[in-house]
Structure 1
């Protein structure tokens, strides 16, 4: 059995539905962080990359990255696109470069950066993620 190719119109609708804010992994990280007693600001446009969570008094930021979109090395992130592979490979490479530039700029401005990958927000990994977030947010800058 083979999968039928998705029409351009259907593909366009699917891609339009992909959110950049308030994603399920981001909500998981917000809830975990809040349950640990930390308060944050969301998507500060005045910071490079508009970090997903910003802890201004601690000078710390958290980005929640989708594995596919930001080129993670996990099973989902390393999966090559089946259609229009050259476009998507270039797009993901640009995302990775942009992420690196934003992190450098934040570090140079005195901010600590923590990356949470989508695959780390799965139900079975949340206790480990909570511990890592707590360590990141409580350690001195």
Structure 2
């Protein structure tokens, strides 16, 4: 037999994971750069011989990885913070719903605007989601990322080819 007030019955209140005031403190310590998934992606690309700049502030959105030779930019997005559609890792918090929905929608809208700006500048934008880096699918996704980056001719070689064509006489 259970006593009333021990979490049983109709008047049951939801047990909070954090004490009042500690959730905000905990959330404020989530890093914006050098997250474990970013480091994982960068280590893989470096091991495959790709050289890049990280978190370059010259570009909209401060991309996680900038590969100038390949004219490609990689964003490594957390499913929660960037509202990955259809992903089990993204769910709207149950408390303070108005705040969180506004914040996460702003993040998504900002991402779309930044990607359009980068594409207008001639960059190829590639997004890697946190859920794609789960152990079961990690290797496949990283290999696909490498092929997405290296699929086109490097930007430096494309410029050289264009110069050679303009110098050679046409027949």
TM range (shorter): over 0.9
Larger RCO (CA within 8 A; separation ≥ 6): 1
Task: Compare CA radii of gyration and give the structure with the larger one.
Answer: 2
Partners of 2:74 and 2:104 lie apart in 1 by 20
Any residues of structure 2 matched to 1:8-87 within 5 Å, and which?
Answer: 8-73=20-85, 74-77=87-90, 79-87=91-99
**RMSD of Structure 2 on Structure 1 (CA):** 1.4
Partners of 1:36 and 1:3 lie apart in 2 by 47
Partner of 2:101: 89
Partners of 2:30 and 2:96 lie apart in 1 by 17
- 2:126 aligned counterpart, secondary structure: strand
- Is 2:153 the counterpart of 1:135? no
In structure 2, runs of 5+ residues without a counterpart are: 1-6, 8-13, 154-171
In structure 1, runs of 5+ residues without a counterpart are: none
Per the TM alignment, residue 5 of structure 1 is displaced from its structure 2 partner at its CA by 5.7
Q: Give the TM-score normalised by structure 2.
A: 0.77
Encode CA deviations 1:23-75: one digit per residue, 9 max, x unaligned.
01111111111122211111110101000000012111000111000000200
Find runs of 4+ consecutive structure 1 residues off by over 6 angstroms.
none
Task: Count residues with an aligned counterpart.
Answer: 140
Partner of 2:134: 122
Partners of 1:7 and 1:86 lie apart in 2 by 21
Per the TM alignment, residue 7 of structure 1 is displaced from its structure 2 partner at its CA by 3.8
